[in-house]
């Protein structure tokens, strides 16, 4: 498990040593010269519950964290990428399959098991093309019925599948201009 990220020590804008200062009731590293505040926000990531014939697609992780463990197809968002794009890209990279997102399932606080705080956005999807083949950072990809699933490596993925199994309702995706859900297109 990687060590937790250390707070920034120097301002990335002017290189002045940061000091601890109150920011609306929270002490944060702040630049006394230019006012820059070094926020420690979670990294955005996306996971996908891919469904087919009452089975779920899982991948066995090739790399740390949690190498050898099973998870949903998932990964970090790239700069400038929409969460929906990340979901489709990560699924294709890790499984060889093209998917259509059918619903926004949920958002989860994640990363407690790795020491790196993450905001995990989870979608539901169905396969629309491609051929199942593990790739990128997955060493294996396979379909599992509910009673056959291996233990998942990440708590947030386990929670999402528990909620999925209980039949929690997901919000339908309604695409607006540019393929973005209505009301979320960049301006």
> Would you name the residues annotated as active-site residues?
140
Structure tokens at 119: 């905001």
The length of the chain, given as a count of residues: 187
- What are the phi and psi torsion angles at 177 (to 5°)? -60, 140
Give the integer Cα–Cα distance in Å for 67 and 74: 14
Q: Please name the helix (run of DSSP H) or strand (run of DSSP E) that holds residue 162, with its range, or none.
A: helix 155-165
By the 10 Å C-beta count (0-12 exposed, 13-18 middle, 19+ buried), 172 is classed as exposed
Instruction: Provide the pairing of β-strand 97-110 with 118-130.
Output: antiparallel
Q: Please name the helix (run of DSSP H) or strand (run of DSSP E) that holds residue 62, with its range, or none.
A: none
């Amino acid at each position: 498990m990687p060590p937790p990220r250390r707070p920034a020590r120097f301002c990335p804008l002017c290189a002045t040593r940061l000091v601890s200062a109150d920011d609306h009731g929270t002490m944060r590293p702040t630049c006394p010269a230019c006012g820059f505040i070094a926020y420690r926000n979670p990294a955005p990531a996306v996971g996908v519950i891919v469904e087919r014939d009452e089975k779920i697609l899982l991948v066995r992780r090739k790399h740390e964290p949690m190498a050898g463990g099973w998870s949903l197809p998932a990964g970090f968002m790239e700069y400038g990428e929409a969460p929906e794009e990340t979901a489709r890209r990560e699924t294709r990279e890790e499984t060889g399959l093209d998917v259509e997102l059918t619903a926004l399932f949920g958002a989860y606080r994640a990363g407690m098991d790795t020491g790196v705080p993450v905001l995990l956005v989870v979608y539901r999807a169905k396969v629309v093309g491609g051929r199942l083949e593990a790739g990128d950072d997955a060493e294996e990809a396979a379909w599992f019925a509910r009673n056959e699933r291996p233990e998942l490596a990440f708590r947030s993925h386990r929670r999402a599948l528990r909620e999925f199994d209980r039949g929690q309702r997901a919000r339908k995706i309604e695409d607006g201009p540019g393929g973005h859900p209505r009301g979320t297109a960049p301006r």
